[in-house]
C-alpha cells in the first residue's frame, strides 16, 4: 500500500506544524541532500511545452529511494481562476520499484522553493541582512518572507507588484506575522536599502523586472521567476556585475536567467559552496545572484521530509496504487477469478 | 478533483467488462492514436537504472491531453514475492496543467501490451493464423493469448517456460477459456507449426530464447521481452532473416532486440504500416518481426480508454491531488487561515 497525503491533509499538516518551522526543518533536509549531491542521479527535467504553459516531470534517485514530481507552469492560469503551478510527487523503493508515498505538492513546492532560496541566502547574503525587497507578491511571496526570517532573520520587507490586489492579499496574510512591511511605489523603489532582493514574477516572457542601475554593492539577488526557456526577469548586465550561483548548471543554462548568456558563462553550483569546495561570498561588496529554477533533488528532500514527518500521525491515508498478486506471475488470476471470461 | 481508479476498482472493472472485450476495444483506441502518430510529443522514456532493475517515466501529449506512466522493471522481483512490473498512470489537461485522472496500471499495462501486440499482428501476421507458440508463461502470457484470439482468431497455443510452476499457472488460468493448448518440451518444440511466435521472458540479460534455425518462412515473431538495454531474447541472425517493425525507432534502438544491430539497421515504424505509407507483409513467405518495447502513446491510449469507460460507473473515486485556492494567488491563505503562525 502507498501512503497518500491529499490537499486537505497537506493543509492540516502545514497549519499544525507551522510553515516557518517546516521551512526551517526543510533547510536541514535540503542541506543533507545538497551535501551528497554527487551521489544523486541528475537529469534535466522532462518538459512538454504548449502555447499555454508547460508540464514537467522531475525525477531523481539516491539509489535507495527514487522520487519524482509532476508540475505544471501556466502563467495565464490565475486570470482564469487556476493556480499557475500545481504539483504532486511520489517516492518509490529502488530495490523493488514499488511506489511508497504519494503527496500533493502545490503547497509543498511553495515551501521547498522558499526553503531552498533561504538555504542559499543563508550562505551567500551578508550575515547581518535584515531588509528584503520583493518584486512579485504572488503565490510564492509569503513563503519566501517566512523562510528568510527563519534562516536569516529578515524582519523588514519592501514589496511591489503590478497587481494591486496581489499586494493587498500579501499585506492581509502577513499582517499577523510581525514583519515591518513597506509597499514600494515601483520596482526601483523596492530595492532601496535592501540587503536581499527577491524577484518572483510569473510572466512567461523575457521580462526585465530588475535593471543594472537598481543594484547596489553587497546585495544578494534571489531570482526565482526566471525558470523556463523564454522566461527571465533580470537585465543580462546584472549577471555580469556579480557572481552567479545555480542548482544544476545543465538545467539552469536552458531555463534560468543565464539562458541570456553564452554557454560558457561562469557559474558555481551551490552544493560546492555548501561543501566548501567552491567560494561563496568573498567580500562585503560582492553581488551574489542565485539563479533559481528548482531542481528535482529539492523535491526529493521535501518528499523525504513530509514522509518522515507524517509517520505515526493522522495526516495521511493509504491507497492501493499498484496490483500485487500473491503469486507474482499470476496477474491474470486477479481478474480471471472474478470474471466469466471469453468473448 | 482527480478521478482515481485503484487496484480494487481496476480489477472489478476488468472482470466485469472482460479482458478479451477490453483488449478488442483497446485495439480501436490504439489504432486511433497510431494513425495520428505524428501529432504526438514523442520522447524516449526517462529511465533510472540500478543493479536491481529500472524505474521509468513515459510521458506524451497530443496537445489537448497530457499523459504519463510510472513503471518499474525488476526481473528479480518474482523470486522475492513482488511483481516484475508495476505501474500507475496519469492524464492531465494541457490547457491548465491540472491532473484529471490517476489509475493503477499494473493490470492495465498487461492489457495494453497484449492489445498492442495483437494490433500489430493483425496487420503483419498471415491472415489465416491459428497457432501461436509462446515462450514464457509469466504475467503477460494469458493477456497475449486472449488478445490474439480477439484480433486474429488464434485458438491453438504451444507453450513453454523454464519455470514449470508458471506453466501450471497458465494452464489453470486458461483451462476455462476454450483454447487448444499443448505444453512443448523446449523452446524449439514451441515453434513447431506456429503461425505466430511470442517471446515474453523477463531475464535482464542478453538471452537467446529463439535461434535462427527455429524460424520457418511466413512466421510472425512477436518479441515482447527484449525491452531495455542489455535485455534481449532473439538471436541477432533472426533480425536479418525478416523485416523488423518497431514502435518508435529512437527508443527501440536503445531498448529493443535491435540494440544488437548497427545504428542504421533498417526498421519500419508500425504507424506507417497502419496508415499504408510503408509496406507491411508483402508475401506469404516473409518473416515479420515486431520488436516491441512499449511506448508512451500506448499508455496514453489505454488511459483514455479507461477514463472514457468508467464515465458514469462505480469504478472510480475522486481524490484531491492538487491544491486550488479560490484566489489563485493566495496559496498561503490556505494554510495561514488555519494556523497560529510565527516561529
* pLDDT digits 0-9 by tens, A262-289: 999 999 999 999 999 999 999 999 999 9
* pLDDT digits 0-9 by tens, A223-238: 998 777 787 888 899 9
Q: Is the dihedral of CA A112, A118, A119, A121 positive or negative?
A: positive
What does the pLDDT average to over B19-48? 94
Name the CATH superfamily for B2-107+297-336: ornithine cyclodeaminase, domain 1 (3.30.1780.10)
Provide the pLDDT for residue B166.
94
What does the pLDDT average to over A250-259? 91
CB A146 within 8 A of CB A178: no
* pLDDT digits 0-9 by tens, B196-206: 999 998 766 77
Chain B: closest CA distance from residue A85 (Å): 8
Q: Which residue has the cell 491540472?
A: B98
Considering chain B, what percentage of its residues have pLDDT values greater than 90? 77
- What is the CA angle B99-B101-B103, rounded to 5? 130
C-alpha cell at B95: 490547457
CB A310 within 8 A of CB A316: yes
Provide the pLDDT for residue A299.
97
- Which distant-in-sequence residues (6+ apart) come within 8 Å of B262 by Cβ? none
**Inter-chain residue contact B342 with A178, CB threshold 8 Å:** yes
Orientation angle between helical segments B19-35 and B106-124, nearest 10 degrees: 70
* pLDDT digits 0-9 by tens, B93-136: 999 999 999 999 999 999 999 999 999 999 999 999 999 999 99
- Domain residues of chain A, as ranges? 2-107+297-330, 118-294
Chain A: closest CA distance from residue B283 (Å): 31
* pLDDT digits 0-9 by tens, A123-147: 999 999 999 999 999 989 999 999 9
Most distant CA pair in chain B: distance in Å?
78
Of A73, A110, A328, the CB nearest to B77: A328
* pLDDT digits 0-9 by tens, B72-100: 989 888 888 888 888 999 999 999 999 99
DSSP state of A218: T
Considering chain A, what percentage of its residues have pLDDT values greater than 90? 77
- Which distant-in-sequence residues (6+ apart) come within 8 Å of A79 by Cβ? none
Residue of chain B with shortest Cα separation from A165: B329
DSSP state of A62: -
Chain centroid to Cα B321, Å, comes to 27
Alpha-carbon distance of B14 to B309, in angstroms, equals 11
Alpha-carbon distance of B324 to B334, in angstroms, equals 9
DSSP symbols for B232-279: EEE-HHHHHHSEEEES-HHHHHHHSGGGGS-TT---EEHHHHHTTSS-
Burial class, B192, CB count within 10 angstroms (exposed 0-12 / middle 13-18 / buried 19+): middle
| Length of chain B (residues) | 343
Alpha-carbon distance of B207 to A294, in angstroms, equals 42
Q: Is B227 a catalytic residue?
A: yes
C-alpha cell at B319: 481524490
Considering chain B, what percentage of its residues have pLDDT values greater than 70? 97
| Length of chain A (residues) | 343
**Inter-chain residue contact B70 with A90, CB threshold 8 Å:** yes
Residue of chain A with shortest Cα separation from B93: A55
Provide the pLDDT for residue A337.
60
Cα end-to-end distance, chain B, whole Å:
33
**Inter-chain residue contact B74 with A97, CB threshold 8 Å:** yes
DSSP symbols for A223-276: E-S--BTTBEEE-HHHHHHSEEEES-HHHHHHHSGGGGS-TT---EEHHHHHTT
Provide the pLDDT for residue B277.
97
C-alpha cell at B176: 476455462
C-beta atoms surrounding A230 within 10 Å: 11
Q: What are phi and psi of B160, to 5 degrees?
A: -155, 145
A129: contact with B, CB 8 A cutoff: no
Provide the pLDDT for residue B337.
60
Alpha-carbon distance of B75 to B77, in angstroms, equals 6
- Please name every residue paired with A197 in a beta bridge, in sequence order, or none if there are none: A133, A221
Of A82, A181, A176, A80, nearest to B330 by C-alpha is A82
Of B181, B7, B174, B34, nearest to B115 by C-alpha is B34
B64: contact with A, CB 8 A cutoff: no
A334: contact with B, CB 8 A cutoff: yes
Q: What are phi and psi of A20, to 5 degrees?
A: -70, -40
Q: Which residues of A touch B332 (CB under 8 A)?
A: 19, 110, 139, 141-143, 173
Asked if the domains at A2-107+297-330 and A118-294 fall in one CATH topology, the answer is no
- What is the CA angle A153-A156-A159, rounded to 5? 125
Of B76, B136, B149, B67, nearest to B102 by C-alpha is B67
Q: Which of A159-162's residues contact partners 24+ apart within 8 Å by CB, and which partners?
A: A159/A133, A159/A134, A159/A183, A159/A184, A159/A190, A160/A134, A160/A135, A160/A184, A160/A185, A160/A186, A160/A187, A160/A189, A160/A190, A161/A135, A161/A136, A161/A137
Provide the pLDDT for residue B204.
62
Which listed CATH number (1.10.10.10, 3.30.2350.10, 1.20.140.10, 3.40.50.720) goes with A118-294? 3.40.50.720
- Which distant-in-sequence residues (6+ apart) come within 8 Å of B213 by Cβ? none
Name the CATH superfamily for B125-294: NAD(P)-binding Rossmann-like Domain (3.40.50.720)
**Inter-chain residue contact B6 with A334, CB threshold 8 Å:** no
**Cα–Cα separations (whole angstroms), residue B303 to A196, B119, B322, B329:** 47, 17, 20, 32
Alpha-carbon distance of B101 to B310, in angstroms, equals 11
* pLDDT digits 0-9 by tens, A69-94: 999 989 888 888 888 888 999 999 99
CATH code of domain A2-107+297-330: 3.30.1780.10
Q: Which residues of B touch A57 (CB under 8 A)?
A: 46, 57, 59, 68
Chain A to chain B Cβ contacts (< 8 Å): 304
Amino acid at each position: 500500500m502507498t501512503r497518500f497525503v491529499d490537499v486537505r491533509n497537506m493543509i492540516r499538516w502545514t497549519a499544525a506544524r507551522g510553515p516557518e518551522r517546516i521551512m526551517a526543518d526543510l533547510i536541514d533536509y535540503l542541506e543533507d541532500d545538497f551535501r551528497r549531491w554527487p551521489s544523486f542521479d541528475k537529469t534535466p527535467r522532462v518538459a512538454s511545452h504548449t502555447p499555454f504553459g508547460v508540464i514537467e516531470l522531475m525525477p531523481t534517485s539516491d539509489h535507495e529511494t527514487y522520487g519524482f514530481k509532476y508540475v505544471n507552469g501556466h502563467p495565464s492560469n490565475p486570470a482564469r481562476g487556476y493556480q499557475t503551478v500545481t504539483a504532486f510527487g511520489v517516492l518509490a523503493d529502488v530495490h523493488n520499484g514499488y511506489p511508497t508515498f504519494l503527496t500533493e505538492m502545490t503547497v509543498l513546492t511553495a515551501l521547498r522553493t522558499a526553503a531552498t532560496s533561504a538555504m542559499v541566502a543563508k550562505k551567500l547574503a551578508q550575515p547581518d541582512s535584515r531588509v528584503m525587497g520583493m518584486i512579485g507578491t504572488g503565490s510564492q511571496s509569503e513563503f519566501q518572507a517566512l523562510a528568510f526570517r527563519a534562516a536569516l532573520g529578515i524582519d523588514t520587507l519592501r514589496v511591489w507588484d503590478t497587481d494591486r490586489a496581489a499586494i493587498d492579499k500579501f499585506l492581509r496574510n502577513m499582517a499577523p506575522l510581525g514583519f515591518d512591511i513597506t509597499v514600494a511605489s515601483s520596482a526601483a523603489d523596492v530595492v532601496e536599502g535592501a540587503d536581499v532582493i527577491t524577484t518572483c514574477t510569473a510572466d512567461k516572457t523575457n521580462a526585465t523586472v530588475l535593471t543594472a542601475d537598481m543594484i547596489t554593492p553587497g546585495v544578494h539577488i534571489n531570482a526565482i521567476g526566471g525558470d523556463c526557456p523564454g522566461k527571465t526577469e533580470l537585465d543580462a548586465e546584472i549577471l555580469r556585475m556579480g557572481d552567479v550561483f545555480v542548482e544544476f548548471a545543465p538545467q539552469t543554462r536552458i531555463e534560468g536567467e543565464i539562458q541570456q548568456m553564452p554557454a560558457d558563462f561562469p557559474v558555481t553550483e551551490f552544493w560546492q559552496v555548501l561543501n566548501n569546495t567552491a567560494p561563496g561570498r568573498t567580500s562585503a561588496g560582492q553581488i551574489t545572484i542565485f539563479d533559481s529554477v528548482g531542481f528535482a533533488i529539492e523535491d526529493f528532500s521535501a518528499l523525504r521530509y513530509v514522509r518522515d514527518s507524517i509517520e505515526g500521525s493522522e495526516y495521511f491515508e493509504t491507497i492501493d496504487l499498484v496490483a500485487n498478486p500473491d503469486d507474482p506471475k499470476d496477474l491474470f488470476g486477479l481478474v480471471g477469478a472474478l470474471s466469466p471470461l471469453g468473448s
